[in-house]
Amino acid sequence: MTPTIELKPSARPLSDAERDAVLANPGFGRHFTDHMVVIKWTEGRGWHDGQLVPYAPLSLDPATMVLHYAQEIFEGLKAYRQPDGSVATFRPEKNARRFQASARRLGMPELPVETFIEACDALVKQDQGWVPAHGGEESLYLRPFMIATEVGLGVKPAGEYLFLVIASPAGAYFPGGVQPVSIWVSEDHVRAVPGGMGDAKTGGNYAASLLAQAEAAAEGCAQVCYLDAVERKWVEELGGMNLYFVYGDRIVTPSLTGSILEGVTRDSLLTVAADLGYTAEEGRISIDQWQADSESGALTEVFACGTAAVITPVGTVKRTGAAWQQSGGEPGPVTLKLREALLDIQRGTAEDKHGWMHEL
């Protein structure tokens, strides 16, 4: 059953001036809007009691299952201010379907696609004063997520869940904005294994990335890059975003092997790049090939992509015993062209040929 979301709004005491100060420099994931959506699921009853309520802490029993066995999934999507002042989200249906796939992988109930979109719409409509102005780098980042709320320590799929959506005004994910990020290639740790849950968007994958992320930081790098778990050879993805390799007018992203997250930005770029006349492909790239093609000059640019990161150029790459720079450590022209083309669609200044924008 699809619950109707009951409105119980009542804003937190934040003046327009205080909110505008936040919107002028939101950072990433530091500030949250006034409301949130909460929908319950109970075994035998399904989805029920959908509500839009003031943003507030959750009260959880210490034995709540998610706190022990990490049965949790999440999504990330953005709402953009359009030139006429209206607001639209980017491909929410794609996120809704990935949320269902993640739910299946973690033994959780699937939220209907229309309920996912209705929940995001309800929150953005209520808190639309939090959507940053048109034309800049900023947008409103939506974070739908689901947690197992049954109380108990037995290891089993829970019989109760909460689905929530919160929202956070977002600027650049990396403090340097569109400046190139440095990458540490981890040859000791892997992010996900074949048959594991690397293609599900679940907190456990991000927890698993933190030690390697700390090692990357110790190497002076902003992000960690993972290789496949079996041969420790094939490039998979970064800690929280996908990768693209640019060979002149051909762009290649690692194929979905089951241990790579199917990014919405990754998928969109396969289409946007083809629209711009590039050859866009999925394929396998080994770390040795990455290094050799960079050194020979055949690999002209590398960039990271994701909802939070948008498109961020890769600058320095370090692995044990070697380091090199992509495109002289500057953002490359193909990276910047793809970035602008995607952002133009999202900001409503280019034609939405593929019907990706969802107007509220």
Write down the least CB distance from residue 99 to ligand COI, Å.
12
Classify residue 165 by its DSSP letter: E
The set of long-range contacts for 57-60, using a CB threshold of 8 Å and a minimum separation of 24, is 58/162, 60/149
Q: Which is nearer to ligand COI, 53 or 70 (CB)?
A: 70
Q: How far is CA 151 from CA 155, 161, 204, in A?
A: 11, 10, 20
Taking the C-alpha atoms of residue 40 and residue 289, their distance in angstroms, rounded to an integer, is 48
Q: Which is nearer to ligand COI, 185 or 308 (CB)?
A: 308
Taking the C-alpha atoms of residue 199 and residue 201, their distance in angstroms, rounded to an integer, is 7
Q: How far is CA 80 from CA 83, 105, 348, 358, 360, in A?
A: 10, 30, 8, 10, 11
Q: Which is nearer to ligand COI, 308 or 314 (CB)?
A: 308
Write down the least CB distance from residue 305 to ligand COI, Å.
9
- For 165, phi and psi rounded to 5 degrees? -130, 125
Q: Which is nearer to ligand COI, 306 or 332 (CB)?
A: 306
Write down the least CB distance from residue 298 to ligand COI, Å.
29
Taking the C-alpha atoms of residue 254 and residue 63, their distance in angstroms, rounded to an integer, is 40
Q: Which is nearer to ligand COI, 50 or 240 (CB)?
A: 240
Q: How far is CA 193 from CA 190, 198, 223, 305, in A?
A: 8, 7, 20, 22
Chain residue whose CB lies nearest ligand COI: 76
Helix (H, G, I), strand (E, B) or coil at 224: strand
Q: Which is nearer to ligand COI, 41 or 141 (CB)?
A: 141
Write down the least CB distance from residue 48 to ligand COI, Å.
28
Q: Which is nearer to ligand COI, 222 or 299 (CB)?
A: 222
Write down the least CB distance from residue 306 to ligand COI, Å.
4
Tell me which residues touch ligand COI (CB under 6 A).
76, 206, 240, 306-308
Write down the least CB distance from residue 106 to ligand COI, Å.
16
Write down the least CB distance from residue 29 to ligand COI, Å.
7
Question: In the chain, what is the straight-line distance between the N-terminal and C-terminal CA atoms, in Å?
Answer: 23
Write down the least CB distance from residue 78 to ligand COI, Å.
8
Q: Which is nearer to ligand COI, 221 or 299 (CB)?
A: 221
Q: Where do the H-state alpha helices sit in the chain?
A: 16-24, 65-69, 92-105, 113-126, 203-208, 210-218, 264-275, 287-296, 333-346
Question: β-strands 250-254, 242-247: how paired?
Answer: antiparallel
